[in-house]
Amino acid sequence: MPPSSSVVDSAPAPAGPSASALVRAIRGERTDRLPVWFMRQAGRSLPEYRELRVGTHMLDACLTPELAAEITLQPVRRHGVDAGIFFSDIVVPLRLAGIAVEIEPGRGPVFTDPVRTASDVAKIVAVDPEQVAAAAQPIRDAVRIVVGELGDLPLIGFAGAPFTLAAYLVEGGPSKEHLRARAMMHADPESWHALAGWLARVSHAFLRAQTDAGASAVQLFDSWAGSLSVADYRAFVAPHSRAALAGIDTPRIHFGVGTAHLLRDMRLDGTADAVGVDWRTPLDEAAAVLGPDITVQGNIDPALLHAPWHVVEAHVRDVIARGASARAHILNLGHGVPPDTDPDVLTRIVALAHEVSA
């Protein structure tokens, strides 16, 4: 495995991750360095990742501490980003809870036994969420390795939000409209709240495993929340997402895809310190909706990573300018890094962001 001692060679050292530009931005401070990281920066777009993963299943890689740590560190070395994002998958805590799930290449998470009836829900919620904490030693070990290598750079821990996890569980795999999950909310609200409440505790336990081991911030991903109406989000989802983040004693980011109509609710009544915005909503417009007391994150359009550099540069500069209207801004994509992205483009974006902010 390649050495990782060169992760923090650049930039003068602040007094630990809590003084980093990323953590300070989440808390609402503007510094002379615009913090930048990329969702899905750890993984599939990097040739060194693909080489390392040969012969290893995704979930096995996530649960092998040395491998997960190395994958987390690769983009930090290559791109010079201002934070690592822990390499894992949103279904890992479900695997730790004893649920049969595999990640099929080209498709995503697939569950052997979908959760669709009241009896299915009763069976799954009988599992103590603390089982996740007890089984999460490989996660804690990997986080400690990464934190030791990152030094003053922060590590972001993450977990899937209850609705997105429930959507996978109820559908049995990926879905475009999440009809079964949304139907359960209204057809059997008692079962829905039991399931979503259990998933909130599972996600919370997974986040705590990472923060207890040294992660300096966390992000809750709600990839499928955009399929919900405002009324359904408020009644059936927001309370459980709030519970997943409540009591986490590090700065908290909340991100969803297609959630322009939910942005103010994504604040989770102040539980979130920052809200990630996808590429559809200009950051100045998002900041006006979110208000002056929350940080924005985003929102470079991932599709533009394939454009000529002068197009990318103009877009990034525009995103940075619009982000200036928020109390603080973390530069990121509006979703994850596409697998066929040229890594050099990401490296150039990081350099540009630091140059512009300096």
Instruction: Write out the catalytic residue numbers.
Output: 40, 44, 53, 89, 168
Q: Where are the beta strands (DSSP E) in the chain?
A: 84-85, 101-104, 108-111, 155-160, 217-222, 252-256, 274-276, 295-300, 329-333
Q: How many CB atoms lie within 10 A of CB 135?
A: 18
**CA neighbor of 34 nearest in space, from 17, 46, 21:** 21
The whole-angstrom separation of Cα 68 and Cα 90 is: 14
Token pair in block for residue 62 = 């996530």
E strand or H helix at 52: helix 47-53
Q: Rounded to 5 degrees, what angle do the CA atoms 336, 166, 57 make?
A: 55
Cα–Cα distance measured from residue 203 to residue 139, given in angstroms and rounded to the nearest whole number: 13
Of the candidates 294, 303, 302, 354, which has an alpha carbon nearest to the alpha carbon of residue 329? 294
CA torsion sign for 28, 29, 34, 35 is negative
Please report, for residues 36, 96, 144, 227, the alpha-carbon distance to residue 262 in angstroms, rounded to integers and kept in the order given: 24, 31, 35, 10
What residue spans of 127-222 are helical by DSSP H? 130-135, 137-150, 162-171, 179-187, 189-212
